[in-house]
Amino acid sequence: MLEQGTKAPSFSVKDHNGNTVSLADFAGKKIVLWFYPKADTPGCTIEGKGFRDDYEKFTEKNTVILGVSLDNETDNKAFAEKFNFPYPLLCDVNHEIALAYNAVKGPQDEYASRISYVIDESGNILEAVSQVDTKTHSGDLCSRV
């Protein structure tokens, strides 16, 4: 995990709608960057629905939700549409973000670890969460941002 207080690594990848998303796009906002192993699997669905259900609360706190997996646009788009996710799912097919944020051990990994980061308005790591309970993760983070 990256250390609290360190600069969050920059990135630029496509989201599930084909839009290019960069860390710099969200300057002045907090970011919850949640990594999930695989689109449309049970744990990832529970976690994603939690962020969906708490989305307005995060928005009121000037906080952006960004899901990240190694899935392609097609798989992430189907996942987002199936469950009406109002936030971007980043398609880290080249492992760029996962490697920078230690969500994979190496470029050969097929799935990202289930970890999350909260990034502050200045682009620094505010919190790193390595132990995630998919049922309560969103609410737990929302109460702390």
What is the crossing angle of helices 42-53 and 73-82, to 10°?
60
Verify whether residue 142 is a known catalytic residue.
no
Task: Report pLDDT for 131.
Answer: 94
Q: Tokens 């990256």, residue? A: 2
Could you give the CA distance from residue 35 to residue 26 in angstroms, rounded to a whole number?
A: 18
Give the residue numbers spanning the domain of 29. Answer: 12-142
Q: At 57, which CATH number?
A: 3.40.30.10
Task: Report pLDDT for 135.
Answer: 97
pLDDT averages per 10-residue partition of the chain, 145 residues: 97 98 97 98 98 98 98 98 98 97 96 98 97 96 95
Q: Total domain count for the chain?
A: 1
Is residue 35 within 8 Å of 69, Cβ to Cβ?
Answer: yes
Task: Report pLDDT for 82.
Answer: 98
Task: Report pLDDT for 123.
Answer: 97
Distance of CA 133 to the CA centre of its chain: 15
Look at residue 107 and tell me if it is in a domain.
yes
Radius of gyration, alpha carbons of the chain = 13
Look at residue 6 and tell me if it is in a domain.
no
Q: Which of 8, 23, 32, 44 is catalytic?
A: 44
Q: What is the DSSP string of 45-62?
A: HHHHHHHHHTHHHHHHTT
Q: Tokens 């360190």, residue? A: 6
pTM here? 0.97
